[in-house]
Amino acid sequence: MSVIGFEIRTAQLTPSTYVVSVTGEIDAFTSPALEQELDWVLGDGASNAVVDLANVGFIDSTALRVLLKALPGFAKRGGKLVLVSEDRRILRTLEITGLDMKFNVEPKLAEAIARFADGGSAVHSRNGQPARG
């Protein structure tokens, strides 16, 4: 799916921890791509994931549904799904819906990654190549 300004990139930090970075708006049209990526991450054996929303300016109820749907998959493996955002609009949406109590939300990607870091493992992209910053 190609949507102008919308992009998802995934990097594997450790065998069990991934970062899914989203750019653009997550709405009814784009949320299926996020759902597919989170399903892929779980299918690849992840027990932890960081969803980086730092470059997302809008999320709607379909995006919230996708995130909520993925949450039990990580919890069943004893892991977590951590969100990254300091955008007041995103944070307010999570607060209004009560989802700020369900998800760990960090303001910066580095802080979210620190929750799962295991001493500096190499970061690899979804295709196995070293991720580019």
For residue range 7-56, list pLDDT tens digits in order.
Answer: 999 999 999 999 999 999 999 999 999 999 999 999 999 999 999 999 99
Distance CA 2, CA 33 (A): 10
Burial of 71 (0-12, 13-18, 19+ CB in 10 A): middle
Distances, alpha carbon 76 to alpha carbons 51, 90, 119, 133, in Å: 18, 26, 25, 31
For residue range 77-122, list pLDDT tens digits in order.
Answer: 999 999 999 999 999 999 999 999 999 999 999 999 988 764 334 3
